[in-house]
Amino acid sequence: MSVNRSVVVYGINNFRVEKRERPEPGFGEVLVKIEYSGLCPSDIKIIRHGGRLVRYPVVLGHEMAGIVEEVGEGVKGIEVGERVNVAADIYCGTCKYCRAGRENLCERPLTFGYNIDGGHADYLLVPREGVPKAIFKVPDGLSLEVASMTEPVACVVHSMNAGKVSPWRLCSHSRRGAHGSPTRPSSQDLWSK
């Protein structure tokens, strides 16, 4: 049996690192060996205040990157050994918000570290509802450590959109060579949704 160290929260201000069994991926599921996970302020809130989505006991953590360890029967397009980032949320895809393209407001999300076991562990089991939509392949050249920061960056991308910060201003500034970002994007297709 492989050791699966996991940060388990049992209730408010009640958590510990436990050695659990390594999960076995069933039909359609993917097992990821986590290399890095980020400590998020939300983790601290769950420990100290709980949350409406939280189901105890739960393994904490929703910012994570690692390597595919094993895939269950029926999984296609995801291979053992691939470097991946797993999104925090598995949106249902069928509720009125998901159908309206506002899946971040999903009525029935599965969220790692809240209502399903998360990434502050040696292994993360991605349920079939999240395969493959919540699994993102990490590009070559990107360290898994920095890749584990994708979730907070995604939240801030959403914040930029909520604030209607216009990317088109960057394009016009960049053409004039002023006020560019620290490293100019090489392709405008980044801005297309």
Partner 1 sequence: MGLLHVLLAKIYGASSIAVLGLVDKKLKLAEELGAEKLYNRNNYPNIEDILRENPDGFDKVFLTVVNKTTLEESLRLVKKGGRVVIFAGVPAHSVSFSLDPNIVHYDEVSLVGSSSYLYVEYAKALKFVSMYQRELSKIISHRFNIDEFEKAVATWDDKENSVKIILTR
> Interaction with partner 1 in 137-156: which residues (CB under 8 A)?
138-139, 141-143, 145-156
Q: Are 62 and 88 in contact (CB under 8 A)?
A: yes
First to last CA, the chain: 44
Kindly tell me which residue out of 45, 55, 96, 99 binds partner 1, with binding defined by CB under 8 A: 45
For residue 103, state whether it binds partner 1 (rule: CB under 8 A): yes
* Cβ proximity to partner 1, 80 vs 156, nearer residue: 156
CB under 8 A: which stretch of 20-28, 74-82, 103-111 binds partner 1?
Answer: 103-111
Work out whether 188 is an interface residue with partner 1 (CB under 8 A): no
DSSP 101-168: T-GGG-SS-EEBTTTB--SSBSEEEE-GGGTTTTEEEPPTT--HHHHTTHHHHHHHHHHHHHTT--HH
Q: Does 61 bind partner 1 (CB under 8 A)?
A: yes
User: Binder to partner 1 among 88, 124, 126, 131 (CB under 8 A)?
Assistant: 88
Stretch that binds partner 1, among 22-30, 68-76, 101-109 (CB under 8 A): 101-109
* Residue type, position 18, single letter: E
Is the distance from CB of 43 to CB of 96 less than 8 angstroms?
no
Q: Which of 55, 96, 99, 102 binds partner 1 (CB under 8 A)?
A: 102
Which of the 8 DSSP states describes residue 26? -
* Shortest Cβ 27–partner 1 spacing (Å): 23
Interface with partner 1, residue 99, by CB under 8 A:
no
> Which residue do the tokens 């292994």 mark?
123
